[in-house]
Structure 1
Amino acid sequence: MQDWNALSDEAFRAAARDFIETHCPAHIRRGEEHVRWEQSQGWYRAMAAHGWLAPGWPVAHGGMGLKQAKHLIYLEEWARAGISRVMEQGVLNVGPVLLAHGTPEQVAHYLPKIISAEHLWCQGFSEPGAGSDLAALRTEARIEGDAFIINGHKIWTSGAVDANHIFVLARTDKSVRKQAGISFILVDMRQPGVTVKPIVTINGDAEFAEVFLDDVRAPVANLVGGLNNGWKVAQSLLGFERVWAGSPHMGRQAMDRLVRVAKLAGRDRDPVTLDRIAQLQIDLADNAEMYERLAQEIRAGHSFGFEVSTLKIVATETYARITELTLEVAGERGGLGGEVPFTDGTPDLLRDYLTARAPMIYGGTVQVHRNILAKRVLGLPS
């Protein structure tokens, strides 16, 4: 089997680009955040068949076993190609959680089914009234015999319309402080009592959904990390992949569109427009420099902390500002849905603008991240 870590960074980057060019279909390379399973399953299965699906998993479990430096290159090349996220919760979260906290039986049962796409996962964390303050969740699970009985309501559940499994945070002890009485449970969605209601976003997609759990059953054997230890398990999800939220990749794609639209709209010689584009290019370069500095720390094996919040704020707000200026430069055509009627079939600029609102919310709003920095770095009062 290929030892990817033995390659030089340049050789691994070349291998990744070759794999993408050979196997990734064009409709997956449009720079969209998500695509539905019916559109993405061919690419998912191609990655699995050639061993490129799970970069961070050990080779023994079907992964690539990439060290962090190579993992970053993997992510960078997928972003460079504009590849959409495709039912990533199983690979990104369930697999690593089970490898870190699961039983041997859980690892042996669930990981192969993620690779084969038999199990498609979504994340059952956020609830109405328990988004940024996740520990305020009210979904409850009680034990009856050899099963948990789960009742509750999850929301903003990405991929739930296509998933057949969900990992759920549920309260299993109400007598202790709120973080201490939560458990992490694996749930099969293909049973009575699970209701999925799609939520249509402002850009017209049903990217996520509400999930209602009414007397839903899960074997006690599906508990991960021990009873009432779910908060610790959930926090372990927020590891290396958090860094990617601060990557400049979405901003770079948006900047390419802005420069192209400015030229097509005849604004590429207007000094005011050029000045505003240049300022955003400087901001994007700052974002890239911050990201690269953190990437170097990771490559050196160092840990990271609150700087991830800074990256999240800078990256998402810069990306949003770029899409805002793109609409302004496009003029009246910027407010039209569908492809903008320029001569080269410029992509849907209004969709880009609306899509850029979401990263400032998911993964913790920029306001929450500013509060984190204020309290934990600057020591300001709550």
Structure 2
Amino acid sequence: MAEPAPLTLEDLDALDDAAFRAHVRGWIEANTPPELRFPRRRLHWRENRPWYLALSRRGWLAPAWPRAHGGMGLNATRQLIMIEEFERWGCPRISDMGVLMLGPLLLKHGSEAQKRRFLPRILSGEDIWAQGYSEPNAGSDLAALRLEAADAGDHWVLNGQKTWVTFANDANWIFVLARTDRGAKKQEGISFLLLPTDSPGLSIRPILNLDLHDEFCEVFFDDVRVPKDMLVGEVNRGWTYAKALLGFERVAIGSPRLSANGLAALMRLAQRMGRAEDPVFLDQYARFRLELADLKALYESFTAALRRGETLGPDVAILKIVQTELYQRITDAMLELAGGHAGLLDPMEDALHPAGQFLLARPTTIFGGSSEILRNTLARGLLDLPA
């Protein structure tokens, strides 16, 4: 298929939604590296780099960012169209911590110098970011974090540990929450800092997961120096910024992409196993499709709120719960349908990998806030139930 002629952002604005979708679909089909479609695991930077840079050159890397800072400035409907087309074609997830998480935070709370320094380098792929939040004793109870940042005049000195840091072994920068006031209450005395991963005293150790993939890492800080201008916002206000960033993360984790890809794989598996016309399977598949349609509508409502510049409330947890639990149910169905193929660590024919999808789905209800903790948050924050 020939690549559609390049259109400016103003040209895209002039298209109706159907024409916009057709243009996005044509470009994606012409430009996605074939070997990266429907990956069986999340890809390292060295693997997803060609796709990241292709999106960057096209100007499509950051659909939600304002155009003044290199984004597309799309409304929620157009963002959802792009997500749907990426999902339909099986495009790989890029190394997106900078685009989805840090970028929006810097746009809202960063200094002008930080915006000028970091935002263009995210878009160019020069800086790949990791998120340093969780610690061995501060996961769902993130405010219990103990990474210490001691004030040493013109810099901070960091000592402590972070864990479950996604692809820290790929990143050249990391943003962390650190305790800058040990005497303050848990949610106070926390600051938001930026530092390169090659800082003296910083070390990274990969963690192999159940399918022997090193997606997560531990990061250790031993007298790591961080200049004072690498503080985002105000000292001891990091928890406030973290809550905003967790809102961005829960929107990202709540994207319909995983469930949509899982559902597409479920149908391909049913065809492979000769069950695609089975009434029992079709009933289950139809229910999953309806749940996915509900998830997409829910997702669109939250992306629309972000686009309007609104602060997300505790209700954003609903999105993360719905998406991750739907994805787990879809992969449960895949494992049952796969029969004797369910225990294989290697993919079947047609890149189908029921065991891999099942394992990928297991931690989704834990990271970004466990479903149990988020239900407590919803009970207190929305229903005003007692703690």
Considering Cα pairs closer than 8 Å and 6+ residues apart, tell me whether 1 or 2 has the greater RCO: 2
Q: 1:378 aligns with which of 363, 371, 383?
A: 383
Percent of pairs identical after alignment?
44
Q: CA deviation at 1:33?
A: 5.4
What secondary structure is seen at the aligned counterpart in 1 of 2:183? coil
Deviates more, 1:34-43 or 1:307-316: 307-316
Task: Show the 5 A alignment for 1:11-160.
Answer: 11-32=19-40, 34-160=42-168
Shift of 1:113: 1.6
Quote the Cα distance in structure 2 between the aligned partners of 1:310 and 1:379: 16
TM-aligned CA deviation for residue 25 of structure 1: 0.7
Residue of structure 1 in register with 2:353 after alignment: 348
Q: Distance in 1 between matches of 2:116 and 2:319?
A: 36
Partner of 2:211: 203
1:353 partner letter: F
TM-score, normalised to structure 2, is 0.89
Equivalent pair of 2:147/2:178 in contact (CA under 8 Å): yes
Equivalent residue letter for 1:322: I
Residue 2 of structure 1 is matched in structure 2 by: 9
CA distance in 1, matches of 2:24, 2:277: 38
Mapped pair 1:331 → 2:339:
yes
Does the 8 A contact of 2:100 with 2:252 survive in 1? no
Letter aligned with residue 20 of structure 1: I
Using structure 1 for the length normalisation, give the TM-score.
Answer: 0.90
2:259 maps to what in 1?
251
Shift of 1:57: 1.9
Q: Is the 8 A contact 1:323 1:352 kept in 2?
A: yes
Alignment check: 8 A CA contact 2:259 2:292 kept: no
Which shows bigger deviation, 368-377 or 34-43?
A: 368-377
Q: Count residues with an aligned counterpart.
A: 376
1:213-257 CA-partner distances (Å, limit 9, x unpaired): 111111101100111111111122234563343344323332333
Tell me by how many angstroms 1:195 deviates.
0.6
AA at the equivalent of 1:125: Y
Instruction: Answer with 322-331 or 168-177: which moved more.
Output: 322-331
- Decide whether aligned partners of structure 1 residues 220 and 2 sit closer, same or farther in structure 2, where only a CA change above 3 A counts: same
Instruction: Out of 66-75 and 191-200, give the one that drifted further.
Output: 66-75
Q: Partner residue of 1:364?
A: 369
Conserved? CA contact 2:249–2:368, under 8 Å: no
2:371 and 2:71 map into 1 onto residues whose CA distance is 33
One of 285, 290, 296 as aligned partner of 1:291: 296
- What is the identity, as a one-letter code, of the residue corresponding to 1:113? R
Q: Does 1:281 align with 2:286?
A: yes
Any conservation in 1 of the 2:251–2:302 contact (CA below 8 Å)?
no
CA distance in 1, matches of 2:134, 2:58: 34
* Unpaired segments ≥5 residues, structure 1: none
Amino acid at match of 2:353: D
Q: CA deviation at 1:205?
A: 0.9
SS of the residue aligned with 1:148? strand
Letter of the 1:275 counterpart:
V
- CA 1:80–1:267 in 2, change beyond 3 Å: closer, same or farther? closer
Contact (CA 8 Å) 2:42, 2:92: kept in 1 or not? yes
Worse overlay, 50-59 or 259-268: 259-268
1:310 is aligned, of 290, 307, 318, to 318
- Render the CA deviation track for 1:60-81: whole Å, top value 9, x for unaligned: 3222122333222222222222
- Alignment gaps of 5+ in structure 2: 1-7
Aligned residues of 1:55 and 1:65 also touching (Cα < 8 A) = yes
Distance 1:327 1:309 in 2: 27
Contact 1:54 1:62 in 2 (8 A): yes
Distance change in 2, residues 1:294/1:120 (3 Å): closer
